[in-house]
C-alpha cells in the first residue's frame, strides 16, 4: 500500500471511528440554509432568486468550520511531526489529507445540496450544473482551506483567524460556483463558469499542497 493510500485510509478510518464529523458538517449546512426563509420570508420567487447564492455561501461556511480538524489533532499528539519525518514528500501527504477531508466534507455537502435546493425553490433545470459546480468547487475549498489550517496551527484564536484568512481566498470559487449554478435558471450557458471552476481546481491542486507543506514545515520547526 502506498504511503498516500495509507494516510488517506488512516484519516478515513479515524473519521469513521470518531464519528460525527460528517454529520456535523451536513447538519450545520442544513440548519444554516433553513435559517434563510426565516430571515427573508417564504416567498418562493425571492427564495429561488437567492437559492444558488445561499447554498454556496452556507456550503462554504460549513467547509470552513470543518477545516480545523485537518491538522490540529495530528499537531497536538505528535503525529504531524512524525509524518513530516517520513520518507514521503510532505506535499503528497497534504494531498492525501485533503482528499480525506473532501470525502468527509465536500462530498457529503454535494450530495445533500440538491435536497436543500428543493427547500429554496431552486430551479430544477439547474441541478446538473449545481452538482457539477459543487463537485469541482468543494475540492478547491479543501485545498485552499488546508493552507489556512496549516498556517494557523498553534495560533491564538486559530478558529476565527482561519476564517479571516481563508474566506477572501474562497471568493473566486464562490463567484464562479454560483454563476454556474444559476446559469440554467437565467437561461444562460453554465459551461464557461464550469470551465473556470475546473481551472481553479487544477491550479489549486498544483499549488496548494506546496504552500500548505511549507506552512506545516515552519509550524514544526
CB of 190 to other proteins, least distance (A): 12
Quote the longest CA-to-CA distance of the chain. 58
Assess 17 for contact with other proteins (CB under 8 A).
Answer: yes
Cβ proximity to other proteins, 118 vs 171, nearer residue: 171
| CB contact at 8 A, 52 and 126 | yes
Tell me the window of 55-63, 84-92, 114-122, 127-135 that interacts with other proteins (CB under 8 A): 84-92
Question: Using CB atoms within 10 A of its CB, is residue 143 exposed (0-12), middle (13-18) or buried (19+)?
Answer: buried
Q: Which positions ≥6 away from 134 have C-beta within 8 Å?
A: 59, 106, 109, 110, 113, 177
Assess 82 for contact with other proteins (CB under 8 A).
Answer: yes
Assess 201 for contact with other proteins (CB under 8 A).
Answer: no
The CB density around residue 88, as the number of other CB atoms within 10 Å, is 16
Among 131, 169, 198, 205, binds other proteins (CB under 8 A): 169
Cβ proximity to other proteins, 21 vs 127, nearer residue: 21
| CB contact at 8 A, 25 and 62 | yes
Query: Residues in the site for other proteins, rule: CB under 8 A?
Result: 1, 3, 6-7, 10, 13-14, 17-18, 77-79, 81-89, 147, 151-152, 154-158, 161, 164-165, 167-169, 171-172, 175-176, 179, 196, 200, 203, 207, 211, 214-215, 218-221
Amino acid at each position: 500500500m502506498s504511503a498516500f493510500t495509507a494516510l488517506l485510509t488512516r484519516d478515513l478510518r479515524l473519521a469513521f471511528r470518531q464519528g460525527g464529523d460528517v454529520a456535523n458538517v451536513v447538519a450545520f449546512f442544513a440548519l444554516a440554509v433553513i435559517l434563510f426563509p426565516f430571515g427573508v420570508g417564504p416567498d418562493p420567487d425571492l427564495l429561488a432568486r437567492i437559492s444558488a447564492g445561499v447554498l454556496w455561501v452556507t456550503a462554504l461556511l460549513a467547509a470552513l468550520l470543518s477545516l480545523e480538524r485537518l491538522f490540529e489533532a495530528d499537531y497536538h499528539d505528535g503525529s504531524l511531526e512524525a509524518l513530516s519525518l517520513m520518507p514521503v514528500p510532505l506535499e503528497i501527504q497534504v494531498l492525501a489529507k485533503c482528499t480525506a477531508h473532501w470525502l468527509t466534507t465536500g462530498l457529503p455537502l454535494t450530495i445533500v445540496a440538491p435536497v436543500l435546493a428543493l427547500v429554496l425553490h431552486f430551479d430544477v433545470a439547474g441541478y446538473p450544473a449545481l452538482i457539477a459546480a459543487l463537485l469541482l468547487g468543494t475540492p478547491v475549498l479543501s485545498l485552499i482551506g488546508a493552507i489556512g489550517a496549516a498556517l494557523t496551527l498553534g495560533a491564538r484564536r486559530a478558529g476565527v483567524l482561519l476564517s479571516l484568512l481563508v474566506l477572501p481566498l474562497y471568493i473566486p470559487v464562490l463567484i464562479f460556483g454560483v454563476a454556474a449554478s444559476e446559469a440554467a435558471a437565467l437561461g444562460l450557458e453554465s459551461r464557461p463558469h464550469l470551465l473556470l471552476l475546473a481551472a481553479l481546481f487544477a491550479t489549486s491542486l498544483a499549488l496548494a499542497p506546496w504552500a500548505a507543506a511549507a506552512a506545516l514545515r515552519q509550524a514544526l520547526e
